[in-house]
Structure 1
Amino acid sequence: MRRLLFSVSASLCLGLVPGCATAPVTKSDARPLQSPARTPTATGRGAAAATVDVHATSAAIEVLRSGGNAVDAAVAAASVLGVTDPYSCGIGGGGFMVVYLARDGRVVTLDHRETAPQALERSRLYGNGAPLPLEEFATSGLSVGVPGSLMGWSEALRLYGSRPLADVLQPAIRVAERGFEVDPTFVEQTRPNVERFRDFPSSAALFLGPDGQPWPVGSTLKNPDLAKTYRLISQGGVPVFYRGEIAQAIVSTVTRPPLAPGASRKVRPGVMQLSDLARYEALVRPPVTSTYRGYTLHGMGPPGSGGLTLALTLHLLEAHDPASLSRADFLHRYLEASRLAFADRNAFMGDPAFVSVPVSGLLSPDYAAQRRSALDVARASTAAAAPGNPLPFQEKAHAAPAPLPEVKRPASEELVLDKETTHITTSDAAGNIVAYTCTIEGSNGMVVPGYGFLLNNELTDFDLPATVDAPHPNAPAPGKRPRSSMSPLLVFKDGAPVLALGSPGGSTIITTVGQTLVNHLDFGMPIDQALAAPRVSQRNSPDARSQAEPEFIASPEAAALTALGHGFTDSGPVGALTAIRFHPDGTVTAAAEPRRRDGGSAMVVEPVR
C-alpha cells in the first residue's frame, strides 16, 4: 500500500548488521530512496512476510535475512508502519500478537491492548443523562487508553525474539528521517481528519500542507519527531516511554489537549496519570483453541472477541457440508451462523479481569449443537438474533443470563472509526510464525507535540448503555481493557502449520477472517484468491441486513441470497487481509490484499520461480 521512498537493495544497511546500527544520517544520504517493487503474492522457501506496506514488509524481510526470527521481523514491520501507516499502527496504540514457537510446538498470545486510566469513572462518558456523542467522545482525552504497543514489542522480543529493540527499530528510524511518498490511501485516510487536525497544531504540522489540506499524492512526508522518539526508545528502552519524558508528554496531551488558539471545538480533557503508564503490563495469555473440519485454530481470547466468535461461527457451520450445497446456500448458512455468534459475542465477551466470560461454554460442541437449532437453513432472519445461553455448558450449571441493555452504534459511525487497523504476518526458516494485528482505532486527532505519533481513541470500543449504571460486559471501568475484534489466527492440521492470517476493519475483522477461511478451506480457493474475493459481513445488525462490497452485491450469489430473504448494504471495501500459507512441500506463499487500500506487499527470502 505505502510506496515509501526507502530502498531494500541499495541501502539495506538498516542498523541490523554490525557497523550499521548507529550510522548517522548525513546530508548526502538523507534523500528519499526509490521504492522497492510491490507484489501482493510471493512463493518461496524459508522466511516470509506480508503487510499492507511495501517498506514494512521489506524491513521484516531484511531482519529475517540478517538472522532475525519471525518475532523480530513482526516488530520491525510494526515500527515502520508507525511511520508510514500512522492511522493504523504505532506506539500510541496497542495490539494482539499470536506466536507459534516451533521448537516448543506451542502457541502463545501477547495481549497489549490499551487500558482505561484508573481515574476514568463511567459517569465521565455521559452528559445530560445520555452517553456522549461518539464524535465528541472520540476526539477527546477521555477516549485515550494507556498505549500498549511499545510494551508489547518489548515483551515479545524479550520472551520470543532474538534481537534487541534498539536494533529492530532502525528501519523505522531511517524511513521516518528520509520520508515516504504519499499515496492515494494516505490521502483518503487523512481527508476525514482535516477539520480535527486543523484544531491541533501538532497534528496539522505533520499531516497537512501549508494550505491546510492533506499532502498531495506523490509528495514526500518525513517525520523527524518520530525518528527522535524511536531514538530515545532505542537509547533508554521502554522506561523512557512509560516513565520518562515521553510519558510526561502523553499525559500532558491527554489532560491538556493541545488545541489551536481560537479553535471552537469542545475537547474534553482526559484523566490519565503517569502512574497509569508506569503500571501498564503486556499479558501473555493462552490462545483460544478450536477445531473445524480436522483443522486446529488458535486465536486471541478475551478481551479479544475474534477467536471465540470465529470458533462459534465455524462450529455452527461445521454440520453443513459445502460439497453438497450450492455456494449461495452455504454462504446463507455462514451468514446466519455469524449472526448467532455475534449475538453471543455482544452478550458475553469483555475483559476477563472484570467479566466472567463463559469461554468453555461458548466453545462446547454441545452448545453449538443446541445453538444450531436457531439457524434457519431455508430463510434469512428478519431481525437481530437473541443470545443463547452457554452457561450450562461450563463446568458448573448456571441460570440463564439476564437480558442485557441494547447498545447501538450507527453503522456509518462504526465504519468511519474502525478502518484504521492493520495486520502483519511473518514466518522464519526455523518454523516460527507470527500473526499480529495492531491498531490505534481511528486516532483521536492528537499528535503528541514534539514526538510525532498519534494517540489512540480505543476507549470508544467500550459499550455505553443508555444509562450510566446499566450492566454490560464491555462497559468501561478503571483499568479495564475494551473488547476488541482483532482476530490474528493460526491454523494447523495434524500438528503442522497450514495458515496464518488476520485483517483490519473493526468488527468486520471477524467476518473477513471467517469468510477467507470459508473461501480457502471450504471452497478450495488458493489463498491469494481467497483474500481477493468480494466480501460480505453479517454481525447481527439490528436491521438484519448484511454489509457487503459492491462486487459481492453484484454477484450471482447475492442474487440467490436475496431470494432467501437476505438484504445488503453497500459498505465499500472491507478489510485488508494478509496471510502466509504453508504448503506440504515446505514452500510458503505470502499473500496480501491485491487492491484494497491500494494493495499490500508480500515477500519471501528465497523465491521459487
Structure 2
Amino acid sequence: MNSAANFHVHRSVSFGIATPVSWATAAANAIRQQGGSVFDMYLAALACAWVTDPANCSPFGRMQGVFSVAGEIGCISAPSAIRQVPESALPIPVPGNIAAWFFLRRNGHLRLPFGTLIAPAVAVAREGFQPTIGLKVALESEGPDLSEAFKAIYLDETGAPREHVRNPQLANLLQILAASENETDFWCSLRATDPGPWRPEETLDNPVQRPAPRILDLEFGGRPQRLTTTAALHTWGTWTLLGAAVTMELRRHGVLRDFARAMEAYVLSTIFLLDRIPFAVGTLEPKTTRPSVDIDILADAAAIAERVIRSLDAPVDELWKDLQSTYFPGPDSWTDDANTNHFAIASGNDFLSFTTSIGPWFGSKLPWWGAGLGYSYAMESRSLFEGQTHDVTEMSPLIIEAGGRPILAIGSAGSERILGSLTYLLFLRYGLGFNDCMTDLMAKPRVFPKDGKLRMHSDFWPEARAHLQARGFEIAATGYEPNTHMGMVNAVERLDSDQFESGADPSSSGSAL
C-alpha cells in the first residue's frame, strides 16, 4: 500500500515516544535521559506542544489520560469546568490543564522540577520555530477569524502563516508556571498582570478527577488481552471499547471471512455505534436530558453486531431504508475537521496515553498570555444539559495489556475520527486477525463514514471499494494529508522485553522515537 512518505516510525530499546510534533518528542527524550518518569516526559512534551501545536492545545485547555505505572492502572481527567456567567448567555470554561500539572507533582508522579520540564518549551517559544504543515493548514483555515493578538503571533503582514514563529509571551507564562508553588499562585500571578475573562472574585479552581478506568477483556491469538481506557462521560473511551467488542462478536459469528464483506461490516458497525452514542455526531449536543455512559458493553455489542449481520444480508434498498433511520445520510452527518492531539509514551514497564484539546482549532480564537483560551462545546450549542458541570470532549486514550503488563499505548486526534481510527485499527487486529505490529497497521489505508459518504484513502483495497460502491455507498477519496485525515494516531508498542516501536500517523506532523 502506498501511504504517505512522511509516515514517522522508529524502533528503540527500552522506551518509545510518539507525539504531535518533533519538538515535543525531542523534549520527552531529553527528560528521559535526565531520569524523568513517563509523567515528566509527558509534561515536557505537552509544554512544547503548547508552543508548536497551538491550534490543538493550550495551557488553558483540558486533558484526559490513562496510565500503567509501577503496576498501577489509573485515569486522570482534567476537563474544562463550566461556569455560567449571569450577564452572559455563554458559559466561561475554566481549564483543567494547569490543575493537572500541579496534581501530578503533588501526588509524587514527577521526579524532576517544573523548571527542568519546561526549559525545552521556553527555548522554542523564545527562539522560534518553523510551523508544521498541520499548523499551516489550521492557520489557512482559521486565519481570518483569529483575534488581532493571535494574528500578530502567527501571520505575517500579508495574512499568510509566518515562516518563523516566536511567542515570548507564552515563554513568560511557562516561566511563571515553573516558579509557582501551586495553581492558585499561578493564576494570581497571571491575573495580576491581565485579569482574563473571568469575574474578579472568581477562583479558577478545577480539581482533577480520577474516574475508574473502563476495561474490556478479550482473547487474541490464544492469549488474553485487556483494553483499558478512560470512562468519563466526556470521552470516546467507552465507545472505543464497545467498538472492539462489536468486532469480536462479528468475528465470533463468522461474518468477517470475506475481506470485502468484512469492510462493509466495519462501516456499518461504525455507523450504528456512532448512532448509539447519546450525543449528536459533530455537535456533541445531548440526545437526552441527562446523557449517560452506563451501558452493558457486551450486551450492546451483541445488539449492534446482530443489526450489522441483518444489514449485510439485506438487499441494497432495505439496507438504505435502515440507514435512513440513522444520523449518517442527512445533514447531521457533517462534522468539522478540527483536532485534538495525543501523546503515547513508554519507558520500561511504564506506559502512558494522554490526549489534550482546546476544542476547535485555536479554541475561542482569543489568546491570553500568548495561548489560546479553552473552548467549551456548550458555548457553541448555547445549551447545557441537566447536571452538566464539565465540558464534553471526544478523547479516547487507550492502553492494551497482555500477560499482565502493558504492550501498547495508543490514541488519536480528530473529533469523531478519534473513535473511527482506533476502532478501525482494532478491527484490523482483532477482527481480521492481522498480526502486523501497530505501526504497520497504521500505514494501511482506512475508511470512515463521514459527511454522508465514505472517506477512503485512495490506495484502499480495490475489491473492498467496489463492494462498498455496489452496496450504495458514495466514496470520497482522500490522500494522507492533515486537512482530510481519518484520525491522527500516535502509538508506542512493546514488541518484546526490550524492543519498542513508535509511530506517528501518516496524515499528521507527528514525530516518533
**Same fold flag (TM > 0.5):** yes
Contact 2:290-2:387 at 8 Å conserved across structures: no
Residue of structure 1 aligned with 2:95, choices 136, 147, 171? 147
Q: Answer yes or no: is 1:47 the counterpart of 2:47.
A: no
CA offsets per residue over residues 134-184 of structure 1, 9 Å max, x none?
A: xxxxxxxx4752111121232234322222333211111111111111243
Q: 1:332 to 1:273 in 2, by over 3 A?
A: farther
Residue of structure 1 aligned with 2:353, choices 435, 440, 448? 435
Q: Answer yes or no: is 1:110 the counterpart of 2:76.
A: yes
CA RMSD of aligned residues (A): 3.1
Q: Answer yes or no: is 1:338 the counterpart of 2:250.
A: no
Contact 1:288-1:308 at 8 Å conserved across structures: yes
Task: Report the 3-state secondary structure (helix = DSSP H, G, I; strand = E; otherwise coil) of the residue aligned with 1:171.
Answer: helix
Counterparts of 1:561 and 1:209, CA distance in 2? 45
**Structure 1 residues 177-576: aligned runs within 5 Å:** 177-197=126-146, 200-215=147-162, 219-239=163-183, 243-247=187-191, 252=196, 254=197, 272-273=198-199, 277-293=203-219, 294-321=224-251, 325-346=257-278, 355=290, 357-359=292-294, 361-363=295-297, 365-375=298-308, 376-379=311-314, 381-382=319-320, 383-384=322-323, 414-416=335-337, 418-419=338-339, 421-429=340-348, 431-442=349-360, 443-444=362-363, 446-449=365-368, 451-459=369-377, 475-476=384-385, 480-521=389-430, 522-538=433-449, 543=452, 545-552=453-460, 555-570=462-477, 572-576=484-488
Counterparts of 1:385 and 1:489, CA distance in 2? 32
Counterparts of 1:534 and 1:96, CA distance in 2? 28
Q: 1:369 to 1:144 in 2, by over 3 A?
A: same
Counterparts of 1:249 and 1:444, CA distance in 2? 22
Counterparts of 2:246 and 2:359, CA distance in 1? 30
Instruction: Tell me how far 1:240 sits from its aligned partner.
Output: 5.5
Contact 1:312-1:362 at 8 Å conserved across structures: no
Which residue in 1 is equivalent to 2:33? 65
Contact 1:308-1:362 at 8 Å conserved across structures: no
Counterparts of 1:385 and 1:106, CA distance in 2? 45
Q: 1:67 to 1:415 in 2, by over 3 A?
A: same
Contact 1:113-1:147 at 8 Å conserved across structures: yes
Q: 1:535 to 1:444 in 2, by over 3 A?
A: same
Aligned length: 481
Task: Report the 3-state secondary structure (helix = DSSP H, G, I; strand = E; otherwise coil) of the residue aligned with 2:372.
Answer: coil
Counterparts of 1:452 and 1:283, CA distance in 2? 27
Q: 1:194 to 1:350 in 2, by over 3 A?
A: closer
Contact 1:112-1:282 at 8 Å conserved across structures: yes
Counterparts of 1:274 and 1:235, CA distance in 2? 23
List alignment gaps of at least 5 residues for structure 1. 1-37, 125-141, 255-271, 388-404, 469-474, 604-609
Q: 1:247 to 1:296 in 2, by over 3 A?
A: farther
CA offsets per residue over residues 541-587 of structure 1, 9 Å max, x none?
A: 7x4x43334444x7432222222333334562222211011123431
Identity rate, percent: 18
Which residue in 1 is equivalent to 2:3? none
Residue of structure 2 aligned with 1:584, choices 473, 496, 502? 496
List alignment gaps of at least 5 residues for structure 2. 1-5, 479-483
Aligned-partner residue type, residue 518 of structure 1: F
Aligned-partner residue type, residue 292 of structure 2: V
Task: Report the 3-state secondary structure (helix = DSSP H, G, I; strand = E; otherwise coil) of the residue aligned with 1:116.
Answer: strand
Residue of structure 2 aligned with 1:78, choices 46, 61, 76? 46
Counterparts of 2:277 and 2:195, CA distance in 1? 33
Q: 1:366 to 1:478 in 2, by over 3 A?
A: closer
Q: 1:575 to 1:179 in 2, by over 3 A?
A: same
